[in-house]
Structure 1
Amino acid sequence: MRILHTMLRVGDMERSIAFYTEVLGMQLLRRHEYPDGKFTLAFIGYGSEQDTAVIELTYNWGTETYDKGNAYGHIAIEVDDAYAACEQVKKAGGKVVREAGPMMHGTTVIAFVEDPDGYKVEFIQKGTWGV
């Protein structure tokens, strides 16, 4: 068994694809419209679906926002330098909601950014996690 993808419901497919590809550097792997079901799926990631877990973006036509509740946490991405990654996100027009730095009560260097729908994405600096 292996993890294939994590699904996020989004309010604007184009805006979300732009964030994940242009701001976070992922690739659009595939996209398909389902007119009978009135939804669109797009799969994005850093590698092929055959080799890595990816994110499935789901747009239900006509639904622009969702109540996220309090159960969802975040998606984590390993980065070489969390400080530099935050600066790149800002330059690309993205929103940093927690600047890079050591996590509370630990030494792992983390940061958080927010996608256009308010989902949190954590950057974890390579070589600092697990300590």
Structure 2
Amino acid sequence: MRLLHTMLRVGNLEKSLDFYTRVLGMHLLRKNDYPEGKFTLAFVGFGPETEQAVIELTYNWDVDKYELGTGYGHIALEVEDAYAACDKIRDAGGKVVRDAGPMKHGSTVIAFVEDPDGYKIELIQRKHRVD
């Protein structure tokens, strides 16, 4: 078994695609409209679905907002430098909701950003091995 994708329901597909592709640097891998069901599925990721897990953005044509609920946490992305990633995301118009810095009760450097629907994305700074 392997993880294929995580699905998020989005209220504005174009805003979400802009965020995940332009702001976070993912690629639009495929997008399909389903007129009879009145929805669109768009898959974004950093690499091909055959090699990496991706995010499925589900846009239901008649819904422009969702309640996130209390069960959802976040998506985590590894970055080389969390401080630089926050600057780049801010410069691209993205929303940083927790600046880069050590996590509480630990030393791992993290940050949090938010997509247009309020979904949280954690940035975790890559730890470099010392040989």
Q: Same fold (TM over 0.5)?
A: yes
State the TM-score, normalized to the length of structure 1: 0.97
Give the aligned partner of residue 83 of structure 1.
83
> 5+ residue gaps in structure 2?
none
> RMSD in angstroms over aligned alpha carbons?
0.7
What is the count of residue pairs matched by the alignment?
128
Could you give the per-residue CA deviations for residues 11-64 of structure 1, whole angstroms, max 9, x where no partner exists? 010110000000000000000000000000000000000000000000000200
Identity across aligned pairs (percent)?
Answer: 68
Q: How does 1:49-60 map to 2 (within 5 A)?
A: 49-60=49-60
TM-score (norm 2): 0.97
Question: Does the residue aligned with 1:14 lie in a helix, a strand or coil?
Answer: helix
Equivalent residue, structure 2, for 1:24: 24
SS at match of 2:83: helix
Give the equivalent residue in structure 2 for 1:4. Answer: 4
Specify the code of the residue in structure 2 equivalent to 1:8: L
By how many angstroms is 1:105 displaced? 0.1
**Structure 1 outlier segments of 4+, above 4 Å:** none
Cα distance in 1 for partners of 2:121, 2:69 equals: 16
Counterpart of 1:102 in structure 2 is 102
Which residue pairs with 1:118 in the alignment? 118
* Local SS of the residue matching 2:50: coil
